[in-house]
Amino acid sequence: MTSTAFSDLEIAHLLADAARKAILPHFRSSDLSAENKLSEGFDPVTIADRAAETAMRAVLSNHRPNDAIWGEEFGQTTGTSGRVWVLDPIDGTRGFISGTPTWGVLIALSDANGPFLGIVDQPYTGERFVGSPDVAEMTGPLGWSPLQTRATSDLAQAILFTTFPEVGTAKERACFERVSAQVKLTRYGMDCYAYALLAAGQVDLVIEAGLNAYDIQGPIAVIQAAGGIVTNWQGGPAHQGGQVLAAANAQIHAAALELLKDA
């Protein structure tokens, strides 16, 4: 049976705490090495990725044994509750092995309708962004603050993020560049930290393609709790990954969607 000693939100915090403890000893370590998961291209995984997911799975085994788990490193474990914990132990491993603090731990709790609770955690900076139907908050070196997305409605005033300059296919990149050409500022390479900044009211848009479910479910819950919108490039659900448009509000979302929907 599922333990009622802890709420789902408390369990999510326990997961983030366990991941922090497993990851931080390896960050910026002189002997850190990475394996490549691809025969062509580069998709790194480290001991920290695997240790963090193992630690989180142990928490769930103890406290939510009936829930399913979908993790990047160890795949899917079935459950009987109709709920699934979606885990990305280090989103942004390329950044992690480069020493940048833009990677993060992604945690989501989802049901048939998608994610309804999420955490984006940055262990090195000590920032944690949390979203659920009842909570939209962050904690960090400056203390606690609520999460609230921006009210920017004009693309000409918007700040846009994406991780990779190539975005996706040639057609997807062309659609992205239509948006990029109209915004005030485009920045690259932030991984999941871009979604956290959107929820915190620092940026207006994040546009990406080729994502997996574990890349986006945690950020979806956090951004939605903060007042934002996350869809695919046609305006439909994005929680299974693929093309993702995250926006601070309905107006800026509609403006960007108009330029992306042909991809």
Of 45, 55, 44, 60, nearest to 20 by C-alpha is: 55
172 is in an annotated binding site: no
As a whole number of angstroms, the distance between CA 56 and CA 131 comes to: 19
47 is in an annotated binding site: no
90 is in an annotated binding site: yes
To 10 degrees, what angle do helices 8-23 and 47-63 make? 150
The torsion of the CA quartet 97, 13, 53, 102, rounded to 10 degrees, works out to: -20
**β-pairing verdict for 143-146 and 159-162:** unpaired
β-bridge partners, 236: none
72 is in an annotated binding site: yes
Residue 253: other Cβ atoms inside 10 A: 21
At CA 9, angle to CA 56 and CA 229, rounded to 5?
100
43 is in an annotated binding site: no
Of 209, 207, 216, 205, nearest to 240 by C-alpha is: 216
Annotated binding site for Mg(2+): 72, 88, 90-91, 215
Binding site, annotated residues: 72, 88, 90-91, 215
